[in-house]
Structure 1
Amino acid sequence: MTQDQPLAGFRVGVTAARKAEEQIALLERRGAVVDWAPALALEPNRVAVGELRTATESVIGQRVDMFLATTGVGMRAWFDFAEEAGLLEPLLSSLRGAEILARGPKSVGALRARGLRELWAPESEEFDDVLEHLRGRDLTGKRIVVQEHGQSLSMVGHALRRQGASVETVTVYRVESAADPEPMFAMAEKIAAGEIDAVTWTSAPAVAAFMTAAGSVGLREDVIAGFQADVVASCVGPVTAAAFEMWGVPTIFPERSRTAAMVKQLEHELPRRREGLSIELAGGRQLLLHGDACTVLLDGVEIKLSPAPAAVLSALVANPGVVVSRRALLAQLPSGTAGSEHAVEMAVARLRSALGTRAVQTVIKRGYRLAVEA
């Protein structure tokens, strides 16, 4: 490993289909050996023209009070379709009068390119935060249109209907698993055997497709065990990372949901894990993790942790200073631990008892984070 090639000696798996060449080049330039196993089809499949036209005409046909945009690729594809069908101006006119909420910067960019302005977008780029923004509002009689992002958002519709809204979803494209699953099978075998150091993920549907593929050949539990041991699940952002929560897979992700930031994080994370993880906590205290997750050094003093607080610490140190939800921490707790958020609170309390009360910060309504030196 050299300064110019910080990933020399590491093997990294890439599961992206779109823009995979760019990501592979970034990794190889840093010295990594890359295995490519696309989890999804190269291009999203646009829904049938007739179906999309019917949905578009329905949006145009009545006043839209609120519009929720979820993806840049979906918005661009919808506007392009509407333009080809001669429906673009009526569609833009209909949306222009609505309260527009966008999930993230890519959807914002697609909206602004067509002269539309969002009223609000969450910094987190998470759709859950869009719903949180709306929670508590009286939506009685409001007509809300939601652009789906390749996977069903039917639960979103149900949640908004409980607040009194009338909800329509517009499905522009659907994502499908890669036509050839063999590369995924081979990747699953490498993860299970610990023959790869990290695997990158750029979308939640890719996680779902890969775990389904691993399950089809009886490797899902082995893949989960591999990730829980030494293989790093490196995600582009919190939305993708959340897809791993149900499997109890620990993840890392950068502050900015960008491919380059994800690769940059791996530059630091993989060498640091090989050498032993050292973190400077707030107040100048030094935390060292090496080997046994239940044994850490705090300012040079050995501290023994029981399995539950050790699991919480492992999840928090994966993204020092970043908030980890209670649900995500619950997924990391050892089997046999009571399956409720109270178990997380107890594990956090024990961790604070071992490392100091200020080592773990509570972020109201969101979760916990490791208090690190700024």
Structure 2
Amino acid sequence: MNAGPQGRDPALAGCRIIVSGNSAAHDPVSSRGAGTTVRELAQVLAGAGARVSRIAPQRLRAPAPAVLRRAVLRTGSGGVDAVVFASSAASWIAAAEVLGVLDTHRRRAEAGRLLLVTSDPADADGLHRAELPARRVADPAELAHAVVAHYQGGSASLPTDAGRLEVRSGGVVVDEHFIPLSRGGSGVIEALFLARGRVLSRAEIGRSLPGRERSGRAVEVAVARLRESLDGRELVQTVVKRGYRLAVTER
């Protein structure tokens, strides 16, 4: 999908989305009959600007394979914006619990930074039992539309001094304009967004940086590069001797 009316960026620009389900061309999203396939679902999401990864569901009692573990860990650390469960969510929930990232899933989902969506009532119940906010779509054919509509509607945004802010794994959207960011910049802005205006110390922000270099100096460099990428938009404020905060507009 190209930019929308009046040159707007694609609805899912900067979003990384995981589709959990069998990827065979003939396998429908729903076991209740023919309809949209997982491949077609992924294509629609990619056409709306998202980077889409597909993973196959696993047996619940089987050890989580490396691809599932990586996907779950990346989701917990802020590198994924949405997970669409076209098949059972049970193995994903179990892996998140074993890997110790169920709480970060909850925190991100509650803040609107992680969309979990399914069309299966049992999956919806399982996600809710795990205290993971999830959206259930009655018609499996509408899964992709539900994701696009979520982001077109502003998903979870915050008013800031620079404009209305949405955070995505690949950057930020400020007043409907997408700005790509590096992994380090995305990690910093994610942490500040989740804090919702609360001041974060350099140590707290350092935990959001990729790699092993998380010193105070590394945080200062990451923040400086983030500000440069934002091209003068005043989104990050320095609080002397304390750290940094998102420039949330006071109400």
Considering only CA atoms, is the larger Rg found in Structure 1 or Structure 2?
A: 1
TM class by shorter-chain length?
Answer: 0.3 to 0.5
* Higher helix content, 1 or 2: 1
What's the TM-score once normalised by structure 2's chain length?
0.41
